[in-house]
Chain A
Amino acid sequence: MLQIRWHSRAGQGAVTGAKALADVMARTGKFVQAYSVYGAEKRGAPMSAYDKIDDKPILDHSKWMIPNYVLVIDPSLVFQEEIVDNTTEDTVFIVTSHMDKDDLLSMAKHLEGRKVFVVDAIKISQEEIGRAIPNTPMLGAFIKVSEVIPFEDFLVSIEDILSKFPQKIIDGNLRAIKRAYEEVK
């Protein structure tokens, strides 16, 4: 089972991002779960969201997981040690930051020796979508790093999932996804 944990602040779109990823993967015939964990429902409060993806129906309804991927879409949460909870040395971290990887790792000691990829999903979403909603660019970065499905297939599915939005928003998100796919490192 592929297990993914998102760290976000409420309002940044981690739940929507987790559900969109589940939707994309389900279209390839996988079974999925997407859920979130938060206390008081306050905008800006740290929260986590989760994806489980498997070839067979997912029966485990506990919140606990050992993530294969940790996606951090708020730059300040990169410095919270909680992001390494229940991870292994194989866990891959994709984090949002304007800093380059070396500078970031010199400050975020808990990520030392870990598999870390950096993308500035905040800047990308501000420039391409017009708002700091870093969830879709993070998906672009995740597809690049994980190679779970071909990028072209991902784009077809995500465009359909976004189809309820105005064309301007769809185009902005697609540009953001493609840019993050190129820029993550």
Chain B
Amino acid sequence: MATKYELKSKEIWDGNTAASHALRQAQVDVVAAYPITPSTPIVQNYASFLADGYVDGEFVMVESEHSAMSACVGAASAGGRVATATSSQGYALMVEVLYQASGMRLPIVMTVVNRALASPLNIHGDHGDLYLGRDAGWIHLMANNPQEAYDMTLCAFKVAENKSVRLPVTTNQDGFLVSHTAQVVEPLDDDTAYKFIGDYTPMNPMLDTSNPATYGAQTEEEWHFEFKASQHKALIDSAKVIEEVFNEFEKLTGRKYNLVESYKLEDAEIALAVMGSAYETAMVAVDKARVEGIKVGLVMPRSFRPFPYNEIASKLKNVKAIAALDRSCPMGAMGALYNEISGALSANGQAAIMTNYIYGLGGRDTTAEHILEVIKETNENAKAGKRVTDLQGFINLRGPKLSFN
């Protein structure tokens, strides 16, 4: 039996420490990982917990992230509770196997610390890796601070392992800005956390030799479409389970999470959409703008996949102009948040003026003052009743503006 870890009611944890304690409390059977900056401490802490007797499971050292996710797929199909962590290039190397994991309906939890993708090489935070994995069939949950990194990781197991979901889940936190920033975190004690997640009962485990099952079968024209469509339906429908898990988590902790988070939207005339730690920085900017008389609010999909189309449109039904802020370079298109939100509005007959901003690539600092400028530009669009600013701009970019119209 694993030794209980004595935790204080308030710990000073960075996001990595918070995520690693959540993995420990989930009593994962197998963690297979290949450490990479800035998520290395998650793997390192987990290995220490195991060596010190706080974990009963196995830690598998592998030679690459492709192997890490492959070992996770093997262990999960055998019937284990399985988790890993990665960032950036490691995430990119895993991509082939991410699709295998979701296609096999394996409830693996991956704590992702978001980092820019090379080239040029950069260890700092942006959402390039998250956006790379957005069509991989995983649920993607967002955490904006160390407390949320802990909370989302606990919730991730409960969502993934729900019998109607059975899909892998990533929890996402910004590299360094969350992963290496120590803040006050209120953890649950080990027993309460484990009880919230519950025991894992695998479906069709390969180690159940009396009920043989096939994983990763070949399906050509006759069945592939049905498989993928039902997988997609399960992912779309997981929104309901995510909400149920969030409700249960609120009863336990008092901390309330929603499919779509919002801030001061009730009377807002304009809104910004932003995910990750910048959502909280943007709250500071909203408060400043409101002092200046600009009625602005914020919206964030807590769940990037499944994307809560109707919920986000409903939240935005009274605003005149919206700026979507993407922390990833879309390379020849509008950012994903711009596209998804425009689609959500269009599907619901709404016609707010939409603009797109790219920010924070490779860890470029984005301050409340920078976001306040975006708010003021968005307000110009609302006042004019049409778009008078660039369609796509860059926040805190040096040199020429490079914006697109």
Contact = CB atoms under 8 A, between A and B. Distances in A.
A63 interface: yes
Contacts of B366: 62
Given A59-B280, A59-B283, A59-B284, A26 B181 contact: no
B39 to A, nearest CB: 14
Nearest to B179: A35
Nearest to A61: B277
A81 B366 CA distance: 24
B368 interface: yes
B67 interface: no
A34 B174 CA distance: 15
Interface string B176-198: 11101111100000000000000
Q: How large is the interface on B (under 10, 10 to 19, 20 to 34, 35 or more residues)?
A: 20 to 34
A8 interface: no
A147 interface: no
B365 interface: yes
Interface in B350-368: 365-368
Interface in B268-325: 277-278, 280-281, 283-284
B10 interface: yes
A32 interface: yes
A154 interface: no
A83 B368 CA distance: 23
A135 to B, nearest CB: 15
A34 B277 CA distance: 15
Interface string A7-28: 0000000000011001100100
Given A32-B182, A33-B183, A62 B12 contact: no
A33 B182 CA distance: 5
B283 A63 contact: no
A123 to B, nearest CB: 29
B20 to A, nearest CB: 16
Contacts of A35: 14, 176-177, 180-182
Interface string A58-91: 1111111000000000000000000000000000
21 contacts: A18-B182, A19-B182, A23-B182, A26-B10, A26-B184, A32-B182, A34-B182, A34-B183, A35-B177, A35-B180, A58-B183, A60-B281, A61-B178, A61-B181, A61-B278, A61-B281, A62-B365, A62-B366, A62-B368, A63-B365, A64-B365
Interface of A: 18-19, 22-23, 26, 31-36, 41, 58-64
